[in-house]
Structure 1
Amino acid sequence: MRAMRAVFAASLVSAVAACSVPGPGEAPDGIHDPYEATNRKVHAFNRNVDQAFFSGSRRETREPGPVAQDFQLLVGNFADTVSLPRTVVNQVLQGRLGAASRNTLRFSLNATLGFGGLGDFASELGLERDESDFGETLAVWGVPEGAYQTLPLIGPSTERDTAGRVVDLFTDPLSYVVPRPQRYVGTAARALDTVGERARYSGAVEDVLYDSADGYAQLRLIYLQNRRFELGEDAPGGEIDPMAIDTEGF
């Protein structure tokens, strides 16, 4: 039954991802944003949340101490390890069997020799991180990007990537073999890792959100540049070079 639900969800969101495709001349500079008015409202909400919890304009920003840095490293390693089975599923669906095999080995090494995923033993052996998601799988399958979206709390996305996020909820093998409530530990770790990255890249994030003339447009361009570069697609026009700016924290 769960497998049938996953297949149904994949078919449904794939159709949704393809529902908004710009026609000739309707996407200036390669940016298709028909929901801009709504997106800007969500962006403003996200900005207020960020300002309340993270922004240096509300509190003094300090470099995390050694203990905090070590904790963030452990959380990041564990979040990566528990995400690997889902990554492997997507790489198999993309036909990237070599990458899927390497990530399977990476998971095995880190889950055992890496003390349950807290250590990154695999990277020391040359098996570096290679992430993937169902948004990338849809791109490989030829599903168009669709319209740009801003999601509450999550931030920049596209219709295709939003659909991918939904399907990824069903394609994580660990969610079917790990009982409740233990299965939510991985979700919590990924959330903490995101918070840690926000703090780690606070300068770059705040430059865009608070110091740009139009933080929404700037963040939209950075996201689309970076995401299309990752997928090997044509980047939108603009002055930002994805190779010249560190966007890992977004």
Structure 2
Amino acid sequence: MKYRHYVMIGFYILILFCGGCASTKKHEYGMDEGDPYESFNRKSYWFTDVIDRNILEPVADVYIEHVPQAIQRPVSNFYRNLAYPNVALNAFLQGKIRQGFEDTLRFVINSTIGIFGLADMAGHMGFKENDEDFGQTLAVWGINNGSYIFVPVYGPSTRRDITDLPVSFFTDALFYASYAISGPVLVPILFLRVVDKRARLSGPMKIRDQSALDPYLFVREAYLQQREFLIYDGNPPADSYNHLQLDEFEEDEIIDVDDDAKK
């Protein structure tokens, strides 16, 4: 039924909103350089934060308090595994051929021996969990960040990174499994996915609330730094955080990505 996919899209947007809302601030960034839409972005941030504090956070707190870790861990493994084909695909697109095959094998092992990803058997076999997406792929291809934007409900992004939304959606195994799953089963699965994602971010988001004088700036700086860290596979140039390029997004604009990001 088509309605299942509309339901899935709605829940998926909530999941993606959770994905970028927490990290650690380490540098100051000029508003006029990369956040020309700050007025709109702040309103979007406020709207999203209201949804989080009144719906997602209370549910996640109950989940954390009453569900044993022995259950929470397999649940998290299950949902991360469903989204892992996106990691493998983008590893190949970035020219990381060996990693791409290892990521593919990791997904296959966990989906079979690991019982649909509930157990991280591939991790025990030495296949580490990587983090790739289409935004990182575009960075490796030389596409500039573009302006920072905070999309209502979706969360923090840039004009480059938001292109990962359709890619991650259509590479998610649950999207295809939804054809064989009835609505009464699919909705709880999607809802639990949102709760799991928010629960895993509970700690970092509390740090944000306790330490940030301006939560909006905290999230913006944390997001930009985290993306830079991922693009360079954890080894960004020493001056990269002070020279984040966030000019208007144009196809002929490029950023220099060192060899570590292209391996």
The verdict on a shared fold, with TM-score over 0.5 as the criterion, is yes
Q: Which residue of 1 aligns with 2:228?
A: 228
Q: 1:118 to 1:52 in 2, by over 3 A?
A: same
Q: Which residue of 1 aligns with 2:116?
A: 116
Distance 1:115 1:64 in 2: 26
Q: Which residue of 1 aligns with 2:179?
A: 180
Q: Which residue of 2 aligns with 1:50?
A: 52
Matches within 5 A, 1:1-250: 28=30, 32-55=34-57, 64-65=65-66, 67-172=67-172, 175=175, 178=177, 180-182=179-181, 192-209=192-209, 212-232=212-232, 234-236=240-242
Equivalent pairs counted in the alignment come to: 209
8 A Cα contact 1:198 1:205, kept in partner: no
Q: 1:48 to 1:107 in 2, by over 3 A?
A: same
Return the letter of the residue paired with 1:160.
Answer: R
Return the letter of the residue paired with 1:235.
Answer: Y
Aligned residue for 1:169, secondary structure, equals helix
Offset of residue 186 of structure 1? 9.1
Offset of residue 139 of structure 1? 0.9
Bigger mean CA offset, 206-215 vs 220-229: 206-215
Distance 1:129 1:59 in 2: 24
8 A Cα contact 2:60 2:195, kept in partner: no
Gaps in structure 2 of 5+ consecutive residues = 1-28, 244-263
Aligned residue for 2:160, secondary structure, equals helix
Offset of residue 208 of structure 1? 1.9
Aligned residue for 2:157, secondary structure, equals strand
Per-residue displacement from partner, 1:132-153 (whole Å, max 9, x unpaired)? 1111111111111011111222
Q: Which residue of 2 aligns with 1:24?
A: none
Return the letter of the residue paired with 2:116.
Answer: G
Distance 1:41 1:81 in 2: 34
Offset of residue 48 of structure 1? 0.7
Per-residue displacement from partner, 1:110-169 (whole Å, max 9, x unpaired)? 111101211110111111211211111111111110111112223211111111222333
Q: 1:186 to 1:42 in 2, by over 3 A?
A: same
Distance 1:201 1:187 in 2: 22
8 A Cα contact 2:110 2:116, kept in partner: yes
TM-score, scaled to structure 2: 0.67
Distance 2:153 2:221 in 1: 18
8 A Cα contact 1:91 1:132, kept in partner: yes
Structure of greater relative contact order (alpha carbons < 8 Å, 6+ residues apart): 2
Q: Which residue of 2 aligns with 1:245?
A: none
Distance 1:61 1:182 in 2: 27
Per-residue displacement from partner, 1:70-125 (whole Å, max 9, x unpaired)? 33212211112222222211111111111111111111211111012111101111
Return the letter of the residue paired with 2:140.
Answer: V
8 A Cα contact 1:148 1:158, kept in partner: yes
Offset of residue 181 of structure 1? 4.4
Return the letter of the residue paired with 1:114.
Answer: G
Offset of residue 209 of structure 1? 4.1
Q: Which residue of 2 aligns with 1:13?
A: none
Offset of residue 199 of structure 1? 2.6
8 A Cα contact 1:110 1:119, kept in partner: yes
Per-residue displacement from partner, 1:18-66 (whole Å, max 9, x unpaired)? xxxxxxxxx838951111111000100111111102457x99879534x
Offset of residue 218 of structure 1? 1.0
Return the letter of the residue paired with 1:180.
Answer: Y
